[in-house]
């Protein structure tokens, strides 16, 4: 099947190239912003949990359950930071790819 729009330009002349590029990026990676928001919320939750378990460890209460839970919360925070950074890098790569593609078409 042939591509009716070989230049990857919007068919509708009313759409600006910037808006078209943003829509194209969203189509390639849907819900990226929502995923980042979820990573941020879960990371904040893990940080609060780690703070609470650290306070329990400092007081010396429930050490047999507080220590593993503290480690788990630290792991959650580390995972969310890693996932958030992974999304950020993918977004930057996609923006560079779009910029490179648009400079080639000119």
Please give the Cα distance from 100 to 26 (Å, whole number). Answer: 17
Q: 37: pLDDT confidence band, cut at 50, 70 and 90?
A: very high
7, 105 contact by CB (below 8 A): yes
Q: In sequence order, what DSSP letters do the residues of the chain get, joined into one string? A: ---S-TT---SSTTS-HHHHHHHHHHHHSTTHHHHHHHHHHHHHHHHHHHHHHHHHHHHTSSHHHHHHHHHHHHHHHHHHHHHHHHHHHHHHHHHHHHHHHHHHH-
| pLDDT at res. 53 | 96
Q: Delimit the domains of the chain by residue range.
A: 31-105
Please give the Cα distance from 41 to 84 (Å, whole number). Answer: 11
Q: What percent of the chain has pLDDT above 90?
A: 51
* Mean pLDDT along residues 19-45: 87
| pLDDT at res. 99 | 77
Q: Token pair for residue 72?
A: 């788990």
């Amino acid at each position: 099947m042939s591509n009716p729009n070989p230049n990857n330009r919007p068919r509708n002349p009313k759409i600006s190239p910037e808006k078209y590029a943003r829509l194209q990026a969203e189509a390639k990676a849907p819900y990226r912003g929502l995923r980042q928001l979820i990573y941020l919320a879960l990371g904040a939750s893990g940080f609060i949990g780690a703070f609470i378990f650290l306070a329990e460890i400092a007081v010396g209460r429930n050490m047999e359950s507080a220590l593993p839970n503290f480690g788990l919360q630290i792991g959650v925070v580390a995972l969310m930071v890693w996932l958030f950074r992974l999304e950020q890098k993918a977004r930057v790569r996609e923006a560079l790819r779009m910029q490179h593609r648009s400079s080639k078409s000119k």
